[in-house]
Amino acid sequence: MERERPFFRAVILPSEAGWKVKDVLKRHYHFSTSLIRNVKNRGELRINSQTSYFSYEVKAWDVVEVYLAVETKVTPEFSKIEVVYEDSDVLVVNKPAGMVMHPRKRYVSGTLANYIAGHLVQKGERPSSYLVNRLDKETSGLVLAAKNPLAAVILSEEIGEMEKHYLALVHGRVHSEAGVIDLGIVDPKEGVRREVGEDGRKATTKYEVLMRYTDHTLVKAVLLSGRTHQIRVHFSSIGHPLVGDEVYGEGDEGLGRTFLHACHMAFPHPRTGTICQFDAELPVELKEYLNELHR
**Domain residue ranges in the chain:** 8-68, 163-262+288-294
- pLDDT, tens digit, 9 for 90 and up, residues 88-103: 899 999 999 999 998 8
Q: Which of 155-159, 160-164, 288-292 has the lowest mean pLDDT?
A: 155-159
Burial class (CB in 10 A: 0-12, 13-18, 19+), 152: buried
Quote the DSSP letter at residue 12: -
% of the chain residues with pLDDT over 90 = 61
Nearest 5°: the CA angle 223, 229, 231 is 45
231-262 as b/e, with b when 16 or more CB fall inside 10 Å? bbbbbbbbebbbbbbebbbeeebebebbbbbb
How large is the average pLDDT for residues 55-79? 87
Identify any residues that bridge with 107 across adjacent strands, giving them in sequence order.
104
Q: Does 8-68 match 163-262+288-294 in CATH topology? A: no
pLDDT at residue number 1: 39
Overall size of the chain counted in residues: 295
Instruction: Share the mean pLDDT of the chain.
Output: 90
- pLDDT, tens digit, 9 for 90 and up, residues 24-53: 999 988 888 878 888 888 789 999 999 999
CATH number given to 8-68: 3.10.290
Q: Which residues are catalytic?
A: 136
pLDDT band at 72; cut points 50, 70, 90: low
Cα separation of the two ends of the chain: 56
Q: Is the pLDDT of residue 197 over 60?
A: yes
How large is the average pLDDT for residues 111-138? 90
Is 142:265 a contact under the CB 8 Å cutoff?
A: yes
- pLDDT, tens digit, 9 for 90 and up, residues 225-282: 888 899 999 999 999 999 999 898 887 778 889 999 999 999 999 888 899 999 999 9
CATH number given to 163-262+288-294: 3.30.2350.10
pLDDT band at 3; cut points 50, 70, 90: very low
Burial class (CB in 10 A: 0-12, 13-18, 19+), 273: exposed
- Distance, in Å, from the CA atom of 53 to the CA atom of 209, rounded to the nearest integer, reads 57
Give the predicted TM-score (pTM) of the model.
0.84
pLDDT at residue number 253: 76
pLDDT at residue number 2: 43
